[in-house]
Amino acid sequence: MTAVHPRRPARRYGPEEDPAVSEAEAVIQALSLRRPVSEAAGNDEAVRLLLALIDDVDQCGPSDQRCSSVSITPSA
Amino acid sequence: MPNVTEGCVADAKSGVRLATRSDGAAHRDDLKDLTSLAVQGDRTAIESLLAQLRPMVVRYCRARLGRVSGQYHIADDVAQEVCIAVLSALPRYRDMGRPFASFVFGIASHKVADALRSSVRSAVPTQDLPDGPDEGPGPEETVVRYIEAEHARRLLSRLPDNQRELLMLRVVSGLSAEETGNVLGMSPGAVRVAQHRALARLRAMAELESIA
């Protein structure tokens, strides 16, 4: 008597093709380029934290001359 | 002495915001062309190259080092050291097919690690109080922003080193998956998978904190 085992479903995609990975890439790309994220991503706590950090490090007060110009190239 | 102006964009309401990248692929091509000219000693190319790189380095150092006494002086000084180190190393730089940004952030990563090792969190002397209206955000907005950013830093510091570095480079500094992979020794595909895991871990930590 031969036992018949149901065939295992083939894995459809590797981790790189996982839709969740692509979604995370889209969100991170938007954050990276300082573009607006989707409403759903905006409600994500992790994205909200990253947005707060971005906002903080990108800000530069008008009196902060370090952000307006630097002189680091040698003299001519 | 020629100045390298980083191209800040003035915004009447939010003060001055560091210049941001507009398009990834075009930016990489620009950097590649500028780098080859800069390595040959072209002064204009050197200035343009540093002007493009500096905002990314400043953000990276600020995100990693945070504020001391409410200021970014130390982080900005480290960023300046990174730029000077890049400038010094430029004549010896050889294009090995990796993005120039990976070379820069390799230096930045070491400089930040050095700063963290030797950090003495002491008071930073400041200049006299400015005489004039403060056009920045109000005290309440400033405090809320500060608290949220510190919360983000605290949770990020609890991520594994590789995941934290990856998010800093991709999100804060604005590197592509390829550039980030070159800095961290990963393929772009591995970067995308790892950033997905890092984001999930950050989310889980944030949710756990909000419950507790």
A71: closest chain B residue by CA = B3
CA distance A9 to chain B (A): 23
Structure tokens at B55: 């905002």
What is the spatial distance between Cα A59 and Cα A67, in angstroms, rounded to a whole number?
9
What is the spatial distance between Cα B102 and Cα B191, in angstroms, rounded to a whole number?
14
- Chain A residues near residue B18 by CB distance under 8 angstroms: 57-58, 60, 67
Structure tokens at B67: 């504020």
Q: Is B49 on the interface with A (CB under 8 A)?
A: no
What is the spatial distance between Cα B113 and Cα B205, in angstroms, rounded to a whole number?
24
Q: Is B24 on the interface with A (CB under 8 A)?
A: yes
DSSP state of A70: B
Q: How many Cα neighbours within 13 Å face the side chain of B207?
A: 11
Residue B149 and residue A55 in contact, taking contact as beta carbons nearer than 8 Å: yes
Looking at this protein, which amino acid is placed at residue B96?
M
CB contact under 8 A, B18 and A31: no
Interface contacts (A, B; CB < 8 Å): 171
> pLDDT under 50 in chain B at which residues?
1-22
Which residue from A24, A52, A71 is facing B152, i.e. has the nearest CB? A52
What is the spatial distance between Cα B53 and Cα A38, in angstroms, rounded to a whole number?
28
Structure tokens at B35: 């780098």
- What percentage of chain A exceeds 70 in pLDDT? 61
CA distance A59 to chain B (A): 5
Write down the pLDDT at residue B135.
64
- Chain A residues near residue B15 by CB distance under 8 angstroms: 59-62
* Long-range contacts formed by A12-17: CB under 8 A, 24+ apart: A15/B193, A16/B189, A16/B192, A16/B193
CB contact under 8 A, B192 and A16: yes
Q: What is the pLDDT of residues B128-171, one digit of tens each?
A: 555 666 666 677 777 777 888 999 999 999 999 999 999 999 99
Query: For residue A2, is pLDDT > 80?
Result: no
Write down the pLDDT at residue B70.
77
Say which residue, B101 or A66, is predicted with more confidence.
B101
Helix (H) or strand (E) holding B70: none
Write down the pLDDT at residue B201.
96
Write down the pLDDT at residue B13.
30
A52: closest chain B residue by CA = B149
How many beta carbons lie within 10 A of that of residue A73, not counting itself?
18
CB contact under 8 A, B8 and A53: no
pLDDT class for A69, splitting at 50, 70, 90?
very low
Q: Which neighbouring-strand residues pair with A60? A: B16
Q: Is B104 on the interface with A (CB under 8 A)?
A: no
CB contact under 8 A, A33 and B20: yes
Say which residue, A61 or B133, is predicted with more confidence.
B133
Q: Is B191 on the interface with A (CB under 8 A)?
A: no
Say which residue, A12 or B64, is predicted with more confidence.
B64
CA distance A13 to chain B (A): 13
